[in-house]
Structure 1
Amino acid sequence: MKSTSNQQKSCLIIGGGISGLIAGTMLQRHGIKVTILDKGRGIGGRLATRRIPYKSNGQGIFDYGAQFFTVSEPKFQQWVDQWLEQGLVREWSKQLSNTETTCYCGIESNRSLAQHLAKDLNVHLQTRATKITWDASYWTVETEKGNSFHGDILIMTSPIPQSLALLENSDITLPPQIKSSLEQVTYYPCLTVLALLDQLSLIPEPGGLRLKDPSLAWIACNHKKGISPQGFAVTLHSTPEFSETHWNTEDSIVVEKLLEIASSWLGSNVVEYQLHRWLYSHPKTVYGELYLDLQQPGLLMMAGDAFSAIPALDLSLNVEKATLSALATANYLLKQVELN
């Protein structure tokens, strides 16, 4: 229920990607009770890692979302420096970035960074929000499993089309100009293959390779990356053009096409594979501001990597974009709580 002036304020966050986790961490550090709801089985959103069993005693470990991240802003560098000191991330390679800046990745996996950020937060996974309601003094979020969560403040960090659909389903009307601006934000899709090989791939050190192929954009050896010691796990990201063309194509056909293109880098038999479809891989267009704040019917904010002045010039900057949006959102909310 809503807090009174002498009680702890509370915030509900829909979306457990890096934006939700950073905003939640900041707010909780300042005494706000945080609850994060995420529809996925694992925390982290596009900081995604998956395991595929291998033979009788091993497994392939795949970073299959964001492959690494780079830094261009001091505010984000401060966080990265802390993660380096804590042994959560490491420098991977400069040669993987288009801008030849340092590329960072999680030491255990990219999801391990998200898991660290989530460890002291109240997180509910496999919890899909279906309706939000402002009940005169607090927000209520209902889920498809019939549960309800309450909070003074609501932050939505899921991809903008998903947030708009939830608002519409909840009969919450946005100002026409704001709604129009949000509807103009679009995302690139990405078809991702997780291929487990029976031998080490031929992908050169340090284990990642940008391609100039019209269908295949990226291929990575997670074994050489250092996160899959027991299995020869390879991640393939298709280009946006291939993804859009083949979005509704049968999985086996998509996988066959991409593995054929990558064959010269594999040099080995594929023993298992999975296909993941990222409908909202990364923003094609952005909102133009670091966050959206709405005061009516209650205090509601939207944040994420699409809340930026300009689209990221390199995919590796989207983790930073999401973090900067989250930090701006949290700072704004802390000022609002102080004023009230």
Structure 2
Amino acid sequence: MTLSSKKDVVIVGGGISGLIAANILENKGIKTTILDKGRGIGGRLATRRIPHSEDITGVFDYGMQLFTVTDARVQQLVDQWLAEDVITKWSNEYGDRKIPCYRGCESNRSLGKYLAKDLDVNLQTRAISVQNSDSGWTVKTESGQDFQGNILIMTCPVPQSLTLLKNSGFLLPSSIQSRLEGVSYYPCITILGLLEKLSLIPNSGWLTLNNYSVATIACNHKKGISPQGFAVTIHSTPEFSWDHWDTDDEIIVEKLLDSTSNWLGSKVIDYQVHRWRYSQPKTVYGEPFLALENPNSLILAGDAFSETPALNRYLTLEKAVLSGIKSAQYLENKM
């Protein structure tokens, strides 16, 4: 077992809520450390490479494809990211409305990397238990490291946070436990398909289908992030994902490729399947974060912590950002 140096705040979950909260706190001189079980930072700001040959490599944004903004506080951050060439406008339309849509310049993962560049981040670090004492919080990890902090923020999906707290023997007040158990998520099965030829997806690079099987498809080559491979991301609908969660990958791929064949127009030469169990919130907590004091601060935050569900899937990033902002401001005032 190894023990890390104690920080003011330990954050479990390296999605955008945790990254935003950490940046705000660090700017106020409050030291943080982030633990994330994944290989890459950013949570659903996810990008993956599939090398196929010496000349062909597909680059896929396979989590969140794009995001929109309605809140002035989030727009301030977006304007800063635009000015620093971290993100770019992808389209000026969403549905029938003229609403700017945004994505990462190099990839959506690049936004996560940008937000993490000055932070203490520990990847491939899975938290297995948390302990609360008079001296603060201790987070034990699968690798045998212990991380200590005065305050604990958990930004992973609510069911994962509840499991971690339960396995740690940490009892929540029954009313709060019930509210948290009422939070639910849509699943999503995603195909990362490398094509032989350029797809027939419109030049914008993305398309909403919303039939039974497929919610959206995106051409990462036309998007500009996969110059050496015709990489297409296919996101299934929640209904398809619920019905086929345990179905073999080969059958899922056959069904989803058949549903999108008119837009692919090419043979698939390589593919991978990814299952997002917690793709986006279906029901939410009803407040921007949860704060408990017993005896040290425990904060739960994330895109499921909002007053209302996102009006569309492209506003979930905004909800996550706002939760990170408001939970950090709460701790600022407290400290």
Q: Is TM > 0.5 for Structure 1 vs Structure 2? A: yes
Question: What is the CA-CA distance between 1:9 and the residue it aligns to?
Answer: 6.1
Q: For residues 176 and 212 of structure 1, what CA distance do their matches in structure 2 show?
A: 39
Q: For residues 180 and 296 of structure 1, what CA distance do their matches in structure 2 show?
A: 18
Corresponding residue number in structure 2 for 1:139 = 137
Q: For residues 312 and 224 of structure 1, what CA distance do their matches in structure 2 show?
A: 28
Structure 2 matches for 1:149-164, cutoff 5 A?
149-164=147-162
1:265 alignment partner, one of 263, 266, 271: 263
Corresponding residue number in structure 2 for 1:26 = 24
Q: For residues 262 and 299 of structure 2, what CA distance do their matches in structure 1 show?
A: 47
The code of the aligned residue for 1:76 comes to: V
Question: What is the CA-CA distance between 1:326 and the residue it aligns to?
Answer: 0.3
The code of the aligned residue for 1:207 comes to: G
Corresponding residue number in structure 1 for 2:218 = 220
Runs of at least 4 residues off by over 6 Å: none
Aligned-residue RMSD, C-alpha: 1.4
Q: For residues 13 and 96 of structure 2, what CA distance do their matches in structure 1 show?
A: 29
After superposition, the Cα gap between the structure-2 partners of 1:97 and 1:138, relative to the gap in structure 1 and judged at 3 Å, is: farther
Which whole-Å deviations, capped at 9, do the CAs of 1:75-120 have from their partners, x for residues lacking one? 0000000000000001000234564310000000000000011111
The code of the aligned residue for 1:40 comes to: G
Question: What is the CA-CA distance between 1:202 and the residue it aligns to?
Answer: 0.4
Q: For residues 137 and 30 of structure 1, what CA distance do their matches in structure 2 show?
A: 22
The code of the aligned residue for 2:62 comes to: Y
Structure 2 matches for 1:157-236, cutoff 5 A?
157-236=155-234
Q: For residues 142 and 106 of structure 1, what CA distance do their matches in structure 2 show?
A: 33
Which whole-Å deviations, capped at 9, do the CAs of 1:108-166 have from their partners, x for residues lacking one? 00000000111110000010000000121210000011110000110000000000000
Runs of 5+ unmatched residues, structure 1: none
Corresponding residue number in structure 1 for 2:48 = 50
Q: For residues 133 and 175 of structure 2, what CA distance do their matches in structure 1 show?
A: 25
CA contact (8 A) 2:133 2:295 kept: no
Question: What is the CA-CA distance between 1:214 and the residue it aligns to?
Answer: 1.0
Q: For residues 31 and 193 of structure 2, what CA distance do their matches in structure 1 show?
A: 41
Question: What is the CA-CA distance between 1:55 and the residue it aligns to?
Answer: 1.8
Structure 2 matches for 1:325-336, cutoff 5 A?
325-336=323-334
Q: Does 1:296 align with 2:294?
A: yes
Identity of aligned residues (%): 59
Q: For residues 50 and 120 of structure 1, what CA distance do their matches in structure 2 show?
A: 23
CA contact (8 A) 1:140 1:148 kept: yes
Which whole-Å deviations, capped at 9, do the CAs of 1:1-46 have from their partners, x for residues lacking one? 999xxxx961000000000100011001110111000000111100
The code of the aligned residue for 1:299 comes to: S
TM-score, normalised to structure 2, is 0.97
Which whole-Å deviations, capped at 9, do the CAs of 1:213-248 have from their partners, x for residues lacking one? 111110010001111111100000000000000000
Question: What is the CA-CA distance between 1:291 and the residue it aligns to?
Answer: 0.3
Corresponding residue number in structure 2 for 1:11 = 9
SS at match of 2:91: coil
Which whole-Å deviations, capped at 9, do the CAs of 1:231-277 have from their partners, x for residues lacking one? 10000000000000000000111011000111110111100000000
The code of the aligned residue for 2:148 comes to: H
Q: For residues 184 and 149 of structure 2, what CA distance do their matches in structure 1 show?
A: 29
SS at match of 1:182: helix
The code of the aligned residue for 2:235 comes to: H
After superposition, the Cα gap between the structure-2 partners of 1:204 and 1:114, relative to the gap in structure 1 and judged at 3 Å, is: same
Q: For residues 2 and 259 of structure 1, what CA distance do their matches in structure 2 show?
A: 47
Q: For residues 96 and 282 of structure 2, what CA distance do their matches in structure 1 show?
A: 18
The code of the aligned residue for 2:158 comes to: I
Corresponding residue number in structure 1 for 2:237 = 239
Runs of 5+ unmatched residues, structure 2: none
